[in-house]
Amino acid sequence: MTPLFPVKPYFITTAIDYTNAAPHIGHAYEKVLADVMARFQRKNGREVYFLTGVDQHGQKVQKSAEKAGVSPREFVEGVTEHFTALWEKLDVHYDGWAATTDERHQRVVQAILQRLHDAGQLYKKSHKGFYSVRQEQFLTDKERGPDGTFGAEWGEVVELEEENWYFRLSDHVEWLKSFIQSHPNFIFPANRAKDVLNALEGAGQDLCISRPVERLSWGIPLPFDPRFVNYVWFDALTNYVSFAGYLAAECGNDQLPEFSRIWPADAHVIGKDILVPPHAVYWPIMLHALGFPDNQIPQLVVHGWWNVKGAKMSKSLGNVINPDSLADTFTPDGLRYYLMRDIATGQDSDFSEERLIMSYNKELAGGLGNLLNRSLNMAHKYRGGLLTTAGYDDAENAALRHTVAEALPAYISAMNGWAIHEGIAAVWKIVTHANAFVDSTKPFSLAKDPAQSARLDSVLYHLAEALTHVAVLLSPIMPEAMAKARDQLGWDMPAGFHFSQLSWGLLADGHQLSSPQPLFPRLEIQTPEG
């Protein structure tokens, strides 16, 4: 069913992943980040449309398929399954799936190209240059070695003349410069905007948008010259609008959102490597050339990279981190938690198995899981799991209530600003305080003294209530584990519950807790060397 949005939803998309290899931890990070934001916005009272998908055309795919001895279609279908299975495993829930071989997408790409062609924005030109037969690409002076020749890695290099289609990118560079200067929110984090402006200095080149079919057949044919297929960006970037319903009526596309209701996207979540030039130069210029006004240009959210011991992950270094097996070991939520707590959005981080083990065993098992377990155990042991609210209060209780109340605005503001790690830290103040509260109030001693009975009730109530808040606030980050925590707390989150409804007293007088079960069983894992 196509969702209908009476109010504009929060529209979030991610980069679509190349399907020439299986997903690694960097891909997983980006999708989890977007999923966390989508879940957060929903709980924060917005409707959300979350679109993600796969980038299935291109030379690399064509080559990989040839190597594997299968058709490109079979090849991408196989790789795409790895992605969809991973998103399911990691609880990444999207509303729209952008696969670029989808015919609805291909029709929109062609319609856009035709419009730009009709508007005189595309032209054909011949290019003469040095061409690597092995790598199937034209080489520039950048590829020359110090002695002026092309290295052996390029194989045979021949001089070749080839015709291609070009987009008049240079016509719009001045517009883009002033757009960036007058729209400080276009790129998050804002300091990346200067990289874009630097790149625009002296950028007078138009964009080559085609490849002759003899060289590349696995792509979308240009509607006005079928001897060429579109090459890369008019295919890949267009996903953001084609699956949002752009030109749907003209293209006969159904089962897509109504474009005018959901555009512009509130956030295109991308990695720093694809900011300049594709997302910060080609994309806004494409939209501008198509007639999108300035207030219809979407915001870019640019995250950093996960490296391994300071180095880029790569097949040749053999350091590619596989999220699938990590989710098996650490549970999907354990991995989601690590990926959100150990990086600041916009900056790079180093993937470290030691830190993953630490975050799971020390923080999830030892901190949160243990708090839940011992709070519930005590409530069952001393009160059969029945909570009583009235009868006692003191400054220590008030201090815990204060910490809970303070966590909410800090969390909301951090999350709204993409500082997920700070949002987690804001909630963790409740966990730390509640653990210290157990140590200082000593419910096990109170239980021995009948005169302290009302105080014991209040302590048990405060622990369970504080934990219920935690189990709501951390639900975007760890949806499954927090649902289990709420089950154990015996509290059903009402459908449509929003953060704004979080206030002390979710658990009523006479509330019955359910049975405790270890939420994050401690893992006996040897810390890898290094």
Residues that bind ligand MSP (CB under 6 A): 15-18, 26-27, 29-30, 55, 236-237, 239, 270-271, 273-274, 305-306, 313
Taking alpha carbons only, the member of 321, 348, 234 closest to residue 24 is: 321
Residue type, 374: R
108 or 236: whose CB is closer to ligand MSP?
236
Is 243:256 a contact under the CB 8 Å cutoff? Answer: yes
Smallest distance from ligand MSP to CB 286, Å:
11
Listed residue (46, 49, 71) closest to 61, CA to CA: 71
**Minimum CB distance to ligand MSP, residue 364 (Å):** 23
Q: Among residues 323 and 516, whose Cβ is nearest to ligand MSP? A: 323
Mapping DSSP onto H, E and C, the string for 317-355 reads: CCCCCCHHHHHHHHCHHHHHHHHHHCCCCCCCEEECHHH
The H or E element spanning position 164 is strand 157-167
Rank residues 286 and 446 by Cβ distance to ligand MSP and give the closer one.
Answer: 286
Answer for the pair 51, 266: CB distance below 8 angstroms, yes or no. Answer: no
Q: What is the DSSP string of 104-135?
A: HHHHHHHHHHHHHHHTT-EEEEEEEEEEETTT
Place of tokens 């690399």: 60
Query: Of the two residues 173 and 274, which places its CB atom closer to ligand MSP in the complex?
Result: 274
Q: Give Cα 50 distance to the centre of its chain.
A: 10
CB contact at 8 A, 477 and 424: yes
Between residues 56 and 458, which has the closer beta carbon with respect to ligand MSP?
Answer: 56
Closer to ligand MSP by Cβ: residue 166 or 282:
282
Minimum Å gap between C-beta 97 and ligand MSP is 14
Which residue matches tokens 């934001």? 37
Q: How far apart are CA 392 and CA 225, in angstroms?
A: 81
Biggest distance spanned by C-alpha atoms of the chain:
95
Q: Based on CB atoms, which residue is closest to ligand MSP, 10 or 243? A: 243
Angle at alpha carbon of residue 301, lines to 99 and 356, rounded to 5°: 85
CA distance 114 to 72: 26
Q: How far is the CB of 530 from ligand MSP (least distance, A)?
A: 18
Closest contact distance (angstroms) between CB of 156 and ligand MSP is 28
Minimum distance, C-beta of residue 105 to ligand MSP, in the bound complex (Å): 12
Q: Least distance to ligand MSP from the beta carbon of 297, Å? A: 15
CB of 507 to ligand MSP, least distance (A): 40
CB-wise, 30 or 363, nearer to ligand MSP? Answer: 30
Q: In the bound complex, what is the minimum distance in angstroms from residue 171's beta carbon to ligand MSP?
A: 22
Q: Which amino acid is at 149?
A: T
128 φψ region: left (φ > 0), alpha (ψ -120 to 50), beta (else): beta
> Rounded to the nearest whole angstrom, what is the least distance from the CB of residue 108 to ligand MSP in the complex?
14
Q: Are 430 and 404 in contact (CB under 8 A)?
A: yes
State which residue, 281 or 430, has the beta carbon closest to ligand MSP.
Answer: 281
Token readout for 139 is 């080489």
Going by DSSP bridges, is the β-strand pair 157-167/137-139 parallel, antiparallel, or unpaired? unpaired
CB-closest chain residue to ligand MSP: 271
Nearer Cβ to ligand MSP (170/307): 307
